[in-house]
Structure 1
Amino acid sequence: MNTSRHTKPAIIYASLTVLFVWTAMASCTSTASDGWQPLFDGKTLDGWTRVGGEAPYAVEDEAIVGTMTAGTPNSFLITEKEYGDFILELEVLLEGDATNSGVQIRSHIDKTANNGRGRVFGRQVEIDPTERAWTGGIYDEARRGWLYPLDLNENAKKTYKRDSYNHIRIESIGYETKTWINGVPVAHVVDTIDATGFIGLQVHSIGDKALDGKKVYFRNLRIQTENLQTQEFPQGIYTVNLTPNSLSTYEEQNGYKLLFDGRSNAGWMGAYKNTFPKKGWEINDGTITVLPSDGGESSNGGDIVTADQFSAFDLSFEFKLTEGANSGVKYFVTLSENNSGSAIGLEYQILDDERHPDAKMGKGGNRTLASLYDLIPAQKTKRSLRKIGEWNKGRIVVLPDNTVTHYLNGEKVVQYKRGSAAYKALVRDSKYKNWTNFGEAASGHILLQDHGDRVSFRNIKIRSL
């Protein structure tokens, strides 16, 4: 990443931090007359219940203290009351830097699971003192996994203070959840499930016995549920919008546009064609799907491309694979080559790595899922993978300086710079070596590939940078 681009935002964040922390400190003196209510009386655990595991919770010096305990699963202290729309503020101190904790919001419990001890599930605001530094990110406990890893907002990774109390603000209003850590805006998720649920405090299970006895402290818990006074969320924070084919007001203000409306082929045409293909593609139930044929490139309906062209951009899309399927999202497609088969362009590979033979071709895994096809392998983790048949979130960001980043389900997996010496060396050693200035066009179309396998797309949106 070209760090020089982040100098100005870093100054802005620093200024915001001073302002917001001052505001948070001043608000600690507020009373119930301004709409805030204490969620913890500072003396007892009245109104709270422990579930899931056996880690103990106690009250010490007006803080709720959870103690990490070997041999027990994740433990939670949950409110006996459920909440819908709210603003929650609290302070958290987590001992050490080798584990994590979290705050559950609008969550639920399967009382029959976990040998009758119950299993909590629902959105969680992460507390992460490790080198990963994802504090303030949003995880879906025991259900969908990571919704908002902090690879999506790397500036916010610096806000957490180890071995100190950290101020957390959570706004859960309507479909939207926003988080702040020590006054710095961190995550924004739009999610239509779980309109209500309990609030919970987590003591994570531990595999390292050296962590046995470590503690996590929660204090100054307070909540607003009426006449909610929201805090400004500055422009430029990436939004994970889980509502298919829609834009939130915040996304519209940030300049995003839908490339697929969920109903029609408006804005798309066949590659090397003037109209949308008459066969090979299906639009149904909010998805656009390439239909299976013989597994060959562009042998049925052919690739489709956007009518518009783009240079620097932030492109998001969701895709769903079938078993053994192959497809791709290409960018900087100029359609100037007039080649047979799939049109030429840089490709975000979409592939069933386990079942499609292409995953074992190329070099070093550079034809696997989310890779820059035939050039750079994606550095994926197990947590970033979804099962075949589930929706995945892809993202491609091209900065004006030609730095390109691929994301898979919110995690950064590829980064390179178009036109650099390192990039040109990769091209010379690839299947694209005979294409002059491959992938270096000033602008180009976005392409969805027909590789003869059934693959579906939705929630395709773009912002010009």
Structure 2
Amino acid sequence: MTHPLCRPLFAFVLAAAGQSMAPRSAVAEGLPPTLVDSLDGWKASALAHCWTLDDGVLTVENDPSKQASTLWTEKSYKDFVVELEFKFGEGVVDSGVFLRQENDQIQLGISGSLKRDLTASPYIGGKGYPIEAQGVAEVLKQDDWNKMVIVVVGDDYDVWLNGEHVTHYQSETAIESGPIGLQLHPGNTMTMQFRHVRIAELQ
């Protein structure tokens, strides 16, 4: 049985120019009301005990080893939309959302390499941060819940943060299909929370 977070759900309209269009209301209305109430359909790459779920809130926290862990969907996706809420916890929060692979990621929190907040910017293995998200400082809530929508169509990545479109990036290293992952970065002492994680395939 397919987990409710991982069902094909709705068709999405693409611009003739090739860039994904994601009206905020359409994205919100197209996704299911299902919250993260189970880790069915997800698998940790390591240190599964670092991921805990309580009353719909998913918390990740480094253990004393400070090793990396990624919570991956068991399902692979081609074109998709991810909607989630995140909240920074204690420590130096360096997390992100992996897009089909570990090489391409949307950053959440402090960049380990640049030592500053680059939330909503793409991090690409071998390139670092080829662009930076725009207007994040004006909308990011450091001490409260933030809502993020990521739309991935082919090699186009678009990100909305708290209702504002902050990123468009065309990735030369995008792959056709793969899982979606939530990251626990190694080497830090940190906690991070997620809730209302919802995923839909675009058809």
Deviation at 1:91, TM superposition (A): 0.4
Indicate conservation of the 8 Å contact 2:131/2:169, yes or no: no
Counterpart pick for 1:138 among 95, 106, 122:
122
Distance 1:98 1:183 in 2: 25
Deviations 1:25-73 (A, max 9, x none): x93xx4xxx4x247x7532210111114466111112122111223132
Indicate conservation of the 8 Å contact 2:91/2:191, yes or no: no
1:127 partner amino acid: L
Counterpart pick for 1:180 among 153, 160, 164:
160
2:89 partner amino acid: E
SS at match of 2:182: strand
Counterpart residue number, 1:66: 60
Aligned residue pairs, count: 177
Counterpart residue number, 2:176: 195
- 1:141-160 equivalent positions in 2, closer than 5 A: 143-150=125-132, 153=134, 155-160=135-140
Counterpart pick for 2:75 among 65, 73, 81:
81
Q: Is it true that 1:219 corresponds to 2:200 in the alignment?
A: no
Which structure dedicates a bigger proportion of its chain to helix?
1
Counterpart residue number, 1:325: none
Distance 2:197 2:90 in 1: 22
SS at match of 1:157: helix
Deviation at 1:125, TM superposition (A): 0.8
Distance 2:48 2:80 in 1: 29
- 1:19-30 equivalent positions in 2, closer than 5 A: 23=25, 27=28, 30=29
Which structure dedicates a bigger proportion of its chain to strand?
2
Deviation at 1:99, TM superposition (A): 2.6
SS at match of 1:101: strand
Indicate conservation of the 8 Å contact 2:78/2:178, yes or no: yes
Indicate conservation of the 8 Å contact 2:36/2:197, yes or no: no
Runs of 4+ with >4 A deviation: 52-55
Distance 1:165 1:43 in 2: 18
Distance 1:52 1:187 in 2: 30
- 1:26-65 equivalent positions in 2, closer than 5 A: 27=28, 30=29, 34=30, 36-37=31-32, 42-53=36-47, 56-65=50-59
Counterpart residue number, 1:103: 97
SS at match of 2:136: helix
Q: Is it true that 1:171 corresponds to 2:133 in the alignment?
A: no
Deviation at 1:197, TM superposition (A): 1.0
- 1:202-213 equivalent positions in 2, closer than 5 A: 202-207=183-188, 211=189
Deviation at 1:132, TM superposition (A): 2.2
SS at match of 2:100: strand
Counterpart residue number, 1:256: none
Deviation at 1:184, TM superposition (A): 1.7
Distance 1:156 1:42 in 2: 26
2:117 partner amino acid: A
1:223 partner amino acid: I
Q: Would the alpha carbon gap of residues 55 and 148 (structure 1) be closer, same or farther in structure 2, given more than 3 Å must change? A: farther
1:225 partner amino acid: E
Distance 1:176 1:145 in 2: 17
Q: Would the alpha carbon gap of residues 55 and 88 (structure 1) be closer, same or farther in structure 2, given more than 3 Å must change? A: same
Q: Would the alpha carbon gap of residues 55 and 103 (structure 1) be closer, same or farther in structure 2, given more than 3 Å must change? A: farther
**Tell me, which stretches of 5 or more residues in structure 2 are unaligned?**
1-22
Counterpart residue number, 1:241: none
Indicate conservation of the 8 Å contact 1:177/1:189, yes or no: yes
Q: TM-score, normalised by structure 1?
A: 0.35
Which of 1 and 2 has higher RCO (CA within 8 Å, sep 6+)? 2
Alignment RMSD (CA, Å): 2.7
Indicate conservation of the 8 Å contact 1:156/1:185, yes or no: no
SS at match of 1:84: coil
Indicate conservation of the 8 Å contact 2:35/2:195, yes or no: no
**Tell me, which stretches of 5 or more residues in structure 1 are unaligned?**
1-18, 108-120, 228-465
Which entry has the higher C-alpha Rg, 1 or 2? 1
Identity %: 26
Deviation at 1:159, TM superposition (A): 2.3
Indicate conservation of the 8 Å contact 1:148/1:187, yes or no: no
Q: TM-score, normalised by structure 2?
A: 0.75
